[in-house]
Amino acid sequence: MRSVKLLVTLGLIAAAAVGCGDQGAASGGHTGDHSPRDRARRVAAAWEGSEAARAWRDGYYPLGAAVQLPEGAFHNDADKRAYTTQNFELRASLPGAPVKRGKVRWGDGDSLTVPLTSARAAYDKLGRGRNSGPALTVTGVRLGDMTMATSRGAATVPAWLFTIKGYDTPLKRVAVTPSETPRSPIGAVREQTAELGPLAGLEAIGGDGRTLTLRAEHGACDDGPAVDVLEAGSMVVFSASVRGTSDGPCTSELRVEKVKVKLRRPVGDRILLDAFTGRPVAYGRSGSDS
């Protein structure tokens, strides 16, 4: 099967999935009559001044990892393997149900009251391994906070702090979940092509605030993915494509590759959008929890 056909098939599935929450939204389907650049402009225009943009700016949307490791992690390969295989040993009592709500606080004084997750829920997301290999031993658990990059800048966020045997500082896991993603004012593209497809997520934002690492899909018989950037007002729109597609026989394999892009100025509080879906680009892998 050709890589292009593979991408188109997957794109139809993806478009159907992301479109479920956008039924009734303004049409934005790319049909070949408009270039990916035109599509990006339409996405930016639809979001500018929209109710979705206002809701996004009022919410909590993390742009960083849900877990922050102890200082000096890891001391050895065994500890690293224990973490990557999610193998933990609990030798402490987990706190009972905490106060039901906490606050996310930004540097400009704004705050948002949000529901808290339990220590048990946080620990269960860390320790899914439960295998006979090396394990990290948890000797204490308490509620604290951590600094998190968000769509509105750095924020102080409630977090569960897990004391790990052998480490001087705790492992931190965020104790709140992101706000619900607002309904997009523009629908997803109906068909994926080599010229325009969905992104697989945001991997990281560099220390300069301008260098972004994105995750993009491609097939086994092409030259890899590319990402075009449109900076328009308070929006940044990314258009993912595939380079060097072939019409010859190809295995039906989907690959995800990291692609770095550099913006003209730091992200700040601008909304990062996917031209294909018409929705904000999610941090991390598609479907991963925060």
Instruction: Tell me: do 164 and 76 sit in the same domain.
Output: yes
Does 280 fall in a domain? no
Does 283 fall in a domain? no
Q: How far apart are CA 174 and CA 166, in angstroms?
A: 22
Does 284 fall in a domain? no
Residue 157 has pLDDT above 80, yes or no: yes
Instruction: Tell me: do 55 and 195 sit in the same domain.
Output: yes
Average pLDDT rounded to a whole number, residues 157-161? 97
What is the band of 128 on the pLDDT scale with cuts at 50, 70, 90? confident
Does 289 fall in a domain? no
Instruction: Tell me: do 161 and 191 sit in the same domain.
Output: no
Closest CA to 2 of 257, 256, 253: 253
Last residue of a domain, one of 156, 174, 192: 174
Does 106 fall in a domain? yes
Does 282 fall in a domain? no
Mapping DSSP to helix (H, G, I), strand (E, B) and coil, where does residue 98 land?
coil
CA pseudo-torsion sign 29, 30, 36, 37: negative
| Count of C-beta atoms within a 10 Å radius of residue 99 | 8
The total domain count for the chain is: 2
Does 262 fall in a domain? yes
Instruction: Tell me: do 80 and 216 sit in the same domain.
Output: no
Instruction: Tell me: do 190 and 235 sit in the same domain.
Output: yes
Q: How many residues does the chain have?
A: 290
pLDDT tens by residue, 26-40: 444 444 447 999 999
Q: How far apart are CA 4 and CA 197, in angstroms?
A: 11
Closest CA to 160 of 145, 149, 148: 145
Does 207 fall in a domain? yes
Instruction: Tell me: do 48 and 71 sit in the same domain.
Output: no
Average pLDDT rounded to a whole number, residues 227-245? 91
Instruction: Tell me: do 102 and 146 sit in the same domain.
Output: yes
The CA radius of gyration of the chain, in Å to the nearest whole number, is 21
Instruction: Tell me: do 55 and 71 sit in the same domain.
Output: no
pLDDT score, position 163: 98
pLDDT tens by residue, 171-200: 999 999 899 999 999 999 999 888 999 999
Instruction: Tell me: do 93 and 14 sit in the same domain.
Output: no
Instruction: Tell me: do 15 and 41 sit in the same domain.
Output: yes
Instruction: Tell me: do 214 and 262 sit in the same domain.
Output: yes
Last residue of a domain, one of 145, 174, 203: 174
Q: Write out the residue range of the structural domain in which residue 150 sits.
A: 67-174
Q: Is residue 95 within 8 Å of 161, Cβ to Cβ?
A: no
What is the band of 166 on the pLDDT scale with cuts at 50, 70, 90? very high
Q: How far apart are CA 38 and CA 275, in angstroms?
A: 10
Instruction: Tell me: do 55 and 72 sit in the same domain.
Output: no
